[in-house]
Amino acid sequence: MTVLITGANGQLGSELTNLLKQQNIDFIAYDSQEMDITDFDKTLSIIKDIKPSVVYHCAAYTAVDLAEDEGKEMNYLVNVDGTKNVAQACKKVGATLVYISTDYVFDGKKREVPYIETDKTSPINEYGEAKLLGEQVVQEILNNYYIIRTSWVFGEYGNNFVYTMKKLAKTHDQLTVVNDQVGRPTWTKSLAEFMTYLVQNNCEYGTYHFSNDDICTWYEFAQEILQDDNVTISPVTSDQFITKAARPEYSIMDLEKAKSTGYEIISWKTALQHFLEGIK
């Protein structure tokens, strides 16, 4: 099996390259400079030359707030056009594509029952819209694909909520965090493991929801992150913390389909503990 990774220097791509090294699996990894997925001819040339069995498509535009205005064009260029280019190239060589999507494809108006893979999508921000369009081009072009929707991602590489909280705690005695948005945090290591698990176990193609188990609000997530830090955290509502991009209030995605593959999903608290121990 020949493995190709796009977006190799990003938060997830970096985690995935480390995991494959640990698994002694050969792979070829390109960052955005080496493989500009927005250039179809170059993308096709690289993929036709490598002839990968599987492409882990980690390249993405993830600046959610910037995607509302100054980053809007790049958001669609990378997440829609770029994904279409990769999917078309995969079709040429018969490669399986693993595409990472987001809980932001939903509007967050559902309550009590988690979102399942077949629920109606209705993004409320530009990033979610672009990722959904990315899903649709993958589905239109390929039969052999895995779409993995994930949420609240944190990990060793790149910027994320855990690092932000830890950094703020060093310079502030008091912090405020929204307490009316609920979801499931996702450790990049768990996500990378699940991506490779689907491929290596020849799981059924299609769309999967994946995060770490159990739920929390951002406030509760922050409390767990900073439990050993000398800082007071106060809960606030979303209207007290305005962002350019609207966020779904309810981002809980059902994990039963992912669990049915046999992959054991650890809780977000356990994942966070392992992560924090690893970066000390």
* Residue-range domains of the chain with CATH: 3-160+185-212+252-266 (3.40.50.720)
Does residue 241 register a pLDDT over 90? no
- Which pLDDT band holds residue 173 (cuts at 50, 70, 90)? very high
Give the pLDDT confidence of 38-79 residue by residue, as tens digits: 999 999 999 999 999 999 999 999 999 999 999 999 999 999
User: Does position 182 have pLDDT exceeding 90, yes or no?
Assistant: yes
Residue 279, pLDDT > 90, answer no
pTM: 0.96
Q: Which of 56, 99, 127, 250 is catalytic?
A: 127
Residue 111: pLDDT above 90?
no
- Asked about 127 being catalytic, the answer comes back as yes
DSSP letters for the chain: --EEEESTTSHHHHHHHHHHHHTT---EEE-TTT--TT-HHHHHHHHHHH--SEEEE------TTGGGTTTHHHHHIIIIIIHHHHHHHHHHHT-EEEEEEEGGGS-S---SSPBPTTSPP--SSHHHHHHHHHHHHHHHH-SSEEEEEE-SEE-SSS--HHHHHHHHHHH-SEEEEE-S-EE--EEHHHHHHHHHHHHHTTPPPEEEE---BS-EEHHHHHHHHTTTSS-EEEEE-GGGS--SS---SEE-B--HHHHTTTPPPPBHHHHHHHHHHHH-
pLDDT-based confidence at residue 158 (cuts at 50, 70, 90): confident
State pLDDT tens for residues 249-269: 999 999 999 999 999 999 999
For residue 280, what pLDDT is reported?
Answer: 80
Confidence of residue 153 (pLDDT cuts 50, 70, 90): very high
Average pLDDT over residues 123-128: 98
Query: For residue 242, is pLDDT > 90?
Result: no
